[in-house]
Structure 1
Amino acid sequence: MAPDAPVLYERHGPLAHVTMNRPEYRNAQNSAMTYALDAAFYRAADDDGVKVIVLAGTGAHFSAGHDIGTPQRDAHLPFERRAGLWWDHSDKRGAEQRYARESEVYLGMCRRWRELPKPVLASVQGACVAGGLMLAWVCDLIVASEDAFFADPVVRMGIPGVEFFAHPWVMPPRVAKEFLFTGDRMSARRAHEVGMVSRVVPRGELAAATRELAECIARMPRMGLALTKRAVNQAEDLQGLHAGLDSVFGLHHLAHAHNAETTADPLAGLDARAMKDA
């Protein structure tokens, strides 16, 4: 795999390491990265030798979220589609473009990755913001460095959280409301206190601690791991996660449509710089 590929894939014994590789843009997720992640997860799922998958990001940050302004932003390009049966969105306009794209790239892929029948561990350092949360939350466990922080500031755009709206399931509802209402950063320690993060370790120990946990899990039988993951996911769905994702996805797109009618664009005229400054 080319060293400048948007996603790197390595196999080390029973572990598959899937690594986001746009460090110059804090691993912001353009479509090339998202579809490459999809291919990497398929590859790990299909490999009989892989027992556990580790998702990480190169550089100082796990992921600053969706790409809303880098020179390689490619939201309107066609890619091979496997996450859903929507028609190609790349040549459409308005809600037809946005809804079809986000049904596939965000909600569709994240929902399917959550169901991958092998344990997935997120190894999080630095920023895990907005779309970065979605990638961490589809993982079964999150190991975070002490300098990691989590935030979903998209309410600044008038949007009720990112597309994979798992907030009230990964943290208590009142904590989720404060998290969204303020857009403030949540430290790794606080994320551990509310149950969103599994372990917090010093930055220099993050990779080793994640690998140690992954190797421990990999000693379990594969079918047992798959069934246990399914059991816990089903319990979350019975608590309303699956239906909640669908219902809030509709509100998310109502917000995009409202912004498109009343402001400069579906993001209320805000770009990455404006969001960072806010």
Structure 2
Amino acid sequence: MCHEIAHIEVRTPMDQILYEVTDGIAAITLNRPEAANAQTMALLDELDAAWTRAAEDDEVRVIVLRANGKHFSAGHDLKDRWPEPKDLTLEWINNTEARRYLGYSLRWRNVPKPSIAAVQGKCIAAGLMLCWPCDLIVAAENAEFSDPVVRMGIGGVEYHGHTWELGARKAKEILFTGRALTAGEAERVGMVNRVVPLGELDVAARELAERIARMPAFGLRQAKRAVNQTLDVQGFYSALQSAFDIHQTGHGNALSVDGYPVLTRLDEMKEHIKQA
């Protein structure tokens, strides 16, 4: 069954996110190419607003998340301002990360419309928390996925989907070593749906979105709900909540040792990202 899709086009530039709707497909674009699309708090708030806008727009049938520049995302912007060490508490960290990190990612995962992430270059740490909530991932051949957060004395990013995305042993390998997973490896373990040449990434993601957009919207919503709820019955949601609590113990340890969790092995972390 096919449904005609009305043509509309909306361009709304924000500071760090671009938003456009064409033929029922919302394109949300990370737009900090000069910083490898590192995520500030402001970027995450704008990104959440864009997801919400797409979710609430009845003309939008499919959401595509993409990024300008060489890299999809270098993760959290380590220069983004946190409170001064004397004012920082574990309560502040927990509240902030529960809302903007884990909370946003779970909300995007549960938007009742199909979503596709188009990933090129580096996707580091919190970059995973942008693409993993999407239903499908199309990766350029040069895409690499990594979570080196163990270098900071923390067991992985806040949206701890590693085991679900990679399987237990591959998840442990990536976390224990901090090495990047290639696009080909990611496709073989089922984390990525397809790998395409870099120059074809946007076209491939768009063509996939157009094919999905021709399906009945209610059927798509039901299919997504059925798969997501199956994962939740298997323990996905509870596991992520438990892993988030484990993540907070890493911050607590850093506070007790260094007094400032972002500074725990920060130089080592910066060097890893630079080398990536």
Q: TM-score, length-normalised on structure 1?
A: 0.90
Distance 2:227 2:14 in 1: 37
Alignment-derived partner of residue 266 in structure 2: 270
Match of 2:20 in 1: 10
Q: 2:38 aligns with which of 19, 23, 28?
A: 28
Question: Does structure 2 retain, via aligned residues, the 8 Å contact 1:4–1:21?
Answer: no
Residue 158 (structure 1) shift: 1.2
Aligned residue for 1:142?
Answer: 137
Partner Cα separation in structure 1 for residue 166 and residue 67 of structure 2? 23
Give the 4+ runs in structure 1 shifted more than 3 A.
Answer: 1-4
Q: Give the alignment of 1:56-67 within 5 angstroms.
A: 56-67=66-77
- Counterpart of 1:250? 245
Find the counterpart in structure 2 of residue 151 from structure 1.
Answer: 146
**Structure 1 runs not aligned, ≥5 long:** 77-91
Alignment of 1:45-194 (within 5 A): 45-69=55-79, 73-75=80-82, 93-194=88-189
How do 1:204-215 residues align onto structure 2 when only pairs under 5 Å count? 204-215=199-210
Partner of 1:211, secondary structure, is helix
| 1:86 aligned residue | none
Deviation at 1:2, TM superposition (A): 6.6
Per the alignment, do residues 75 and 222 of structure 1 end up closer, same or farther by CA in structure 2, a change over 3 Å counting?
farther
C-alpha distance 165-93 of structure 1, shift in aligned 2 (>3 A) = same
Kindly tell me: are residues 53 and 93 of structure 1, through their superposed partners in 2, closer, same or farther at Cα, counting changes over 3 Å? same
Per-residue CA deviation, residues 83-105 of structure 1 (Å, 9 max, x unaligned), is xxxxxxxxx63111100000000
Q: 1:79 is matched with which residue?
A: none
Q: What's the CA shift for 1:274? A: 3.3
Equivalent in 20, 32, 53 of residue 43 of structure 1: 53
Distance 1:23 1:277 in 2: 15
Q: Calculate the TM-score normalised by the size of structure 2.
A: 0.91
Offset of residue 46 of structure 1? 1.1
Q: Distance in 2 between matches of 1:136 and 1:277?
A: 21
Distance between the aligned counterparts of 1:277 and 1:225, measured in 2?
Answer: 40
Q: Aligned partners of 1:277 and 1:200: how far apart in 2?
A: 25
Task: Give 1:172 shift.
Answer: 1.1
Counterpart-to-counterpart distance in 1, 2:43 and 2:81: 10
How well do the aligned residues superpose, as a CA RMSD in angstroms? Answer: 1.7
CA contact (8 A) 2:123 2:144 kept: yes
Contact 2:12 2:19 (8 Å CA) reproduced: no
* Contact 1:30/1:75 (8 A) holds in 2: no
Give the secondary structure class of the aligned counterpart of 1:68: coil
- What displacement does 1:264 show? 5.4
Q: Which residue of 1 aligns with 2:211?
A: 216
